[in-house]
Structure 1
Amino acid sequence: MKLIQLLSISIIATLLSCKTGSVNLFKAASPHEAYQRKLITAGLEKTALGSAWINASALSMQKALKINLPYKETGYFSAEKAIASAYKFNAVRGAKINISLKKKPENGVAIYLDVWQLPIEGDAKLLASADTLGNDIKFDVDETGDYLIRLQPELLRSAEYTLELTSGPSLGFPTKTGRANIGSYWGDGRDKNNRKHEGVDIFGPFRSPVVATSNGTVTRVNENNLGGKVVWFRPTGKDYTLYYAHLDEQIAKEGTQVLAGDTLGLMGNTGNARTTPPHLHFGIYTFSGAIDPLPFINPTVKSLPNGVAPLSNLNKTLKTTGKVSLLEGNITNASKLMDLQTGTIVNVNSATGNYYKVTLPDGNTGFVKSNELLQISKANKKVKITAANAVIYDNPNSLAPIKGNLQAGINVNVLGNFGDYNLIIDDESNTGWIKK
């Protein structure tokens, strides 16, 4: 621990004293990149620890695990390791994503949080980064597709954190009623299935208010055969237009600036809705045509999952209870990354629901059900030391640093295994890896 503290003081002093001057290794688009630039400017990327931090940053994004929203995890970053965590999730256009990160201690340690959009082709696009005040990240999903977040602490700082990701509508609801009053959805058949419904129908009392879903501008007020009396509305800063149809009365005036919640008209059944109960046909149109409006206004928001996996195992070394699967995600039917044999050693990084996110001795990560892991305090068995397995390694790799040598003929306790190596403990409580 003293060595870590000395290294911490040395690196922090270097970072604080280094001057960027005319050096512009890359433009700092986020606090994470600014920190990485300082490491490089100070020459710390050439050290084992600095290089490991930079490599972990890139590798985590290449091997991002898959999650579904809403998502919540509590994890621990150890000062002894240069690690990063990355997650990939799918989001639908019209949703609003909220990302919250709380850390302990609140001050004195930075955890860098960045969000990217992952296009089908080309490089990832940085969308947002957490600020130094710890405010939530909120953004509207403008394109359906995959998104990625990465967490990484600064060097030589330990921290516990809780990450929460939720998804909700980016717009307010266009009537005073709720989703229970939606009677027809996007894509439903119309005119004996000769055309598809290009919106949602929200039923309610005759002449009840229909309202602006956000701040914006009324772009058009007119009548047509299908929609009857209609109002067109453009939310501020957006590239789409909202369509309110079948109104009994239009209250908004063309060109008017309105606020969220302002009344645009009164619900009715004009146009081709004359034979139906009063309702609002609500649609969204882009330059490419109509799109499904439900994600933009859906008032049903899933709650964050409750925690089940014990937090007491964070940053602890555990082993598998039997043959288990290392999963790519904590979701139902998640892809299997690999099979783990009985007694496989893992380190617990975080807990989410009834899963732990773990790291294997070779650096691979994934999810394992919490009830499939147990403490390594009890040895599986004893093995006899021979000339072939007398060397104790720091990691399960023949190229790893050698911690020492055991005397041939003695018996040692096996705590677990990984690949062709056993994790052992001798009579003097020394631990390390030996060949099987």
Structure 2
Amino acid sequence: MPPSTEMRYFLKHDLLEKVSMSQDTLTHPRFHRMPFTLNRGNIAMTLLLLAVVLVLGSCRTREIVEEAYEPSASHEEYRRSLMAMELDDTALGRAWLSQADAALEAPHTISIPFQEIAHFEPSRPEAVGFRFEALRGQRIEILLEIEDGEQGKMFADVFRAEEGGANALPQVASYSDELNRLEFEPRRDSEYILRLQPELLRGGRYSVRIQSVPVMSFPVQDHGIRHIWSFFGDSRGGGTRVHEGVDVFAPRGTPVLSSVYGTVRNVGTRDLGGLVVSITDEERGLVLYYAHLEEQLTQRGARVAPGDIIGTVGNTGNAITTPPHLHFGIYEPGWRAIDPWNFLYEFDTEPPAIAGATNKIGGAARVAVEGVSLMKTTPEAQAFSLSYDTPVVILGASAASYRVVLQDGRTGYIPVGVLEATDEPVRIAQAFNAEP
């Protein structure tokens, strides 16, 4: 029977501790002391342990994705079905396939939170890509609402942005039609691309919203990020060490809470931390460390959920001369401390209000001001000026901009106040418009 998630974590953790030790006896300052001396007699064992660690580590994905949002092959299957019917030999089919690749190769770079209301024209094969940064400790939530249009599937998939072209990008997660959303959590800071594309000859109006939320709940009851007064990396011990966590100041006796679903790993006393509790977060392979407690209100092996009380705020250990506070730390295997800030910080989830007239989306317009810039949307793209009376089609609206396409197929963002509607149709280049 394969080892459980928790067993794999502890095995990997213990191996990493041994491998990371050198001829000098190394100990972790808070948890335990376990000397290990490297000599000829155990070099082979050390190399074996390292190999096992690498194998275990390779099994971990770069993202945490719930089953409902696991990568779907539906877009690739649809692509193959078009080719099987030889539709890739038609203008419509070629345009659909080209748009799918272009959305990944030249996505629009955005900042989250982000919201756009847009329109896919059924007669014109289209796809759009949005590139954004996701931080470790934050869960990405993508909400997609199909407001109206031709019936058909909307493909919505997230890829990790890496070198190698559209076909080499790792697919991370896919939209759940049942839940009307897509979620994933990066294990480290990375950039991602969301691609949206309807089936051929399908489309309509839709809205997309991308936001991030912390993956851990705050560890002190009725307190928040503003109560953190001492930060990760601050100097300690006269410069001999650094602060491996954050300090949350609160009145003595304030309940201390579990921030995750997990198992209580240790309830004990330490020289520096005083009364401590540590919790294993099996899903992320992390250990959460709570120190300077006044009381410990849990026991080793207990299963806990976010919000469960595990102790109270105090100033035990080396905090005896400071006001009561909780020291909260997060450790990776090998007792490598990581900054808890992004795991707790609630970034703004409300995107800027859309200033443009959404009833203009999908319609033709002309530039009403000379020298307006089509705003740069990719790191490689260069902004360029548009002449007065330049025709465009409005594809979407977000914040104070319209996303537009020019007659030559180039796309970008333009301020909402520089366009005027026109009744004259705008013909888009063959590379974008699949009309024969």
Classify the TM-score, shorter chain. 0.7 to 0.9
* In 2, Cα distance between equivalents of 1:185 and 1:35: 50
Task: Report if the CA contact (8 A) 1:318-1:346 is conserved.
Answer: yes
Per the alignment, residue 197 of structure 2 pairs with: 152
Q: Secondary structure at the match of 2:383?
A: strand
Find the counterpart in structure 2 of residue 297 from structure 1.
344
1:327/1:334 contact within 8 Å kept: no
Residue correspondence of structure 1 range 333-412 to structure 2 within 5 A? 336-376=382-422
Structure 2 counterpart of 1:137, one-letter code: L
The question of 1:68 aligning with 2:133 is answered: no
- Residue 326 of structure 1 contacts residue 336 of structure 1 at CA under 8 Å; is this kept in 2? no
The C-alpha deviation readout for 1:373-404, integer Å capped at 9, x for no partner, is 222459xxxxxxxxxxxxxx96679xx9999x
Aligned length: 359
Q: Is the 8 A contact 2:91 2:434 kept in 1?
A: no
1:287 aligns with 2:333: yes
Q: 1:335 to 1:241 in 2, by over 3 A?
A: farther
Change (3 A) 1:322 1:106: closer
Contact 1:394 1:401 in 2 (8 A): no
TM-score (norm 1): 0.76
Q: Find the aligned partners of 1:62 and 1:253 in 2 and give their Cα distance.
A: 52
Give the distance between the partners of 1:334 and 1:313, measured in 2 at CA.
29
- 4+ runs of 1 displaced by more than 3 Å? 119-123, 191-195, 299-302, 333-336, 393-397, 400-403
Match of 1:105 among 122, 127, 148: 148
Name the structure 1 match of 2:372: 324
Report how far residue 217 of structure 1 moved: 0.8
Distance 2:245 2:299 in 1: 23
CA distance in 1, matches of 2:235, 2:108: 38
Q: Secondary structure at the match of 1:295?
A: helix
Residue 240 of structure 1 and its aligned partner are, at CA, apart by: 1.3
* 2:92–2:434 Cα contact (<8 Å) kept: no
1:264 — aligned with what? 310
3-state DSSP class of the match of 1:175?
A: coil
Contact 1:82/1:155, CA 8 A, preserved across alignment: yes
Task: Pick one of 211, 232, 244 that aligns with 1:166.
Answer: 211
| Structure 1 pair 344–193 and aligned structure 2 pair: CA distance change class (3 A) | farther
Structure 2 contact 136–342 (Cα < 8 Å) conserved: yes
Q: CA deviation at 1:187?
A: 2.4
The alpha-carbon deviation at position 85 of structure 1 amounts to: 0.3
Deviations 1:215-247 (A, max 9, x none): 111112222222122111122411211111111
Of 258, 266, 274, the match for 1:220: 266
Partner of 1:238: 284
The 2-side partners of 1:335 and 1:168 are apart by 30
* Structure 2 length-normalised TM: 0.76
Query: Unpaired segments of 5 or more residues in structure 1?
Result: 1-27, 379-392, 404-436
Inter-partner Cα distance in structure 1 for 2:150 and 2:78: 17
Change (3 A) 1:67 1:173: same
CA distance in 2, matches of 1:34, 1:310: 37
**1:92 Cα deviation after fit:** 0.9
C-alpha spacing 1:70/1:300, structure 2 compared with 1 (3 Å): closer
Contact 2:95 2:434 in 1 (8 A): no
Report what 1:428 is aligned to: none
Determine the C-alpha separation between the residues in 2 that align with 1:368 and 1:285: 45
Identify the residue that residue 137 of structure 1 maps to in structure 2: 182
Task: Measure, in 1, the Cα distance between the counterparts of 2:251 and 2:393.
Answer: 58
Q: 1:85 aligns with which of 128, 131, 138?
A: 128
CA distance in 2, matches of 1:125, 1:294: 28
User: Aligned in 2, Cα 1:218/1:287: closer, same or farther, shift over 3 Å?
Assistant: same
Shift of the 93–34 alpha-carbon distance from structure 1 to 2, 3 Å rule, reads same
Report which stretch shifted further, 216-225 or 79-88: 216-225
AA in 1 matched with 2:360: N
- What's the C-alpha RMSD, in Å, of the aligned pairs? 2.8
Aligned-pair CA distance for 1:191: 3.2
Question: Per-residue deviation at 1:190?
Answer: 2.6
- Kindly state the Cα deviation for residue 163 of structure 1 after the two structures are TM-superposed: 0.3
- The residue identity in structure 2 corresponding to 1:135 is N
Structure number with the bigger relative contact order (C-alpha 8 A, sep ≥ 6) is 2
Q: Which has the larger radius of gyration?
A: 1
Conserved? CA contact 1:61–1:150, under 8 Å: yes
Residue of structure 2 in register with 1:124 after alignment = 169
Asked if the contact 1:173–1:299 (Cα under 8 Å) also holds between the matched residues in 2, the reply is: no
Post-superposition shift, 1:194? 4.2
In the alignment, the residues of structure 2 paired with residue 346 and residue 290 of structure 1 have an alpha-carbon distance, to the nearest angstrom, of: 52
2:64 aligned partner: none
Query: In structure 1, how many angstroms separate the alpha carbons of the residues matched to 2:149 and 2:261?
Result: 35
For the Cα contact (< 8 Å) 1:179–1:300, is it kept in 2? no
1:225–1:38 CA distance, 2 compared to 1 (3 A): same
2:263 and 2:279 in contact (8 A); partners too: yes
